Amino acid sequence: MNKFWLALHSEFLKSRRTLALATAAWLPALIAGLAFALFYFRSEDFAKMGADPWQMMAANVFGLYAVLILPMYAMVVAFSTNQVEHASNAWKNLFTLPYPRLTIYLSKWAFAFLLILAFSLLLCGWLYLVGNVLAVLKPEIGFQDFNSFGMTARFFIKFFLAVLGVFSIQFLLSFYWRDFIRPVGAGLALTIAGAIGAGWEYAWLFPYSATVRVSEQFRKEQLSFFPPEILVSLLASGVLFLVGYLLALRRIRR
User: What pLDDT is attached to residue 48?
Assistant: 86
Alpha carbon distances (Å) from 61 to 114, 122, 157, 168, 247: 22, 14, 15, 24, 37
Q: Give Cβ neighbours of residue 250 (< 8 Å, ≥ 6 apart).
A: none
Give me the count of residues in the chain: 254
Angle at which helix 210-219 crosses helix 181-196, to 10 degrees, equals: 40
Mean pLDDT confidence for 156-181: 90
Report the C-alpha gap between 55 and 143 in whole angstroms: 10
Whole-number percent of the chain with pLDDT over 70: 92
User: What pLDDT is attached to residue 19?
Assistant: 75
Q: Give Cβ neighbours of residue 133 (< 8 Å, ≥ 6 apart).
A: 36
State pLDDT tens for residues 2-57: 777 877 777 777 777 777 788 888 999 999 999 999 999 998 888 888 888 999 99
- Mean per-residue pLDDT of the chain: 87
Residue 96 banded pLDDT, cuts 50, 70, 90: low
State pLDDT tens for residues 113-153: 999 999 999 999 999 999 999 999 999 998 998 888 888 89
pLDDT of 225 > 90? The answer is no
In order, the DSSP letters of 30-95 are HHHHHHHHHHHHTHHHHHHH-S-HHHHHHHHHHHHIIIIIHHHHHHHHHHHHHHHHHHTT-HHHHT
This prediction has a pTM of 0.90
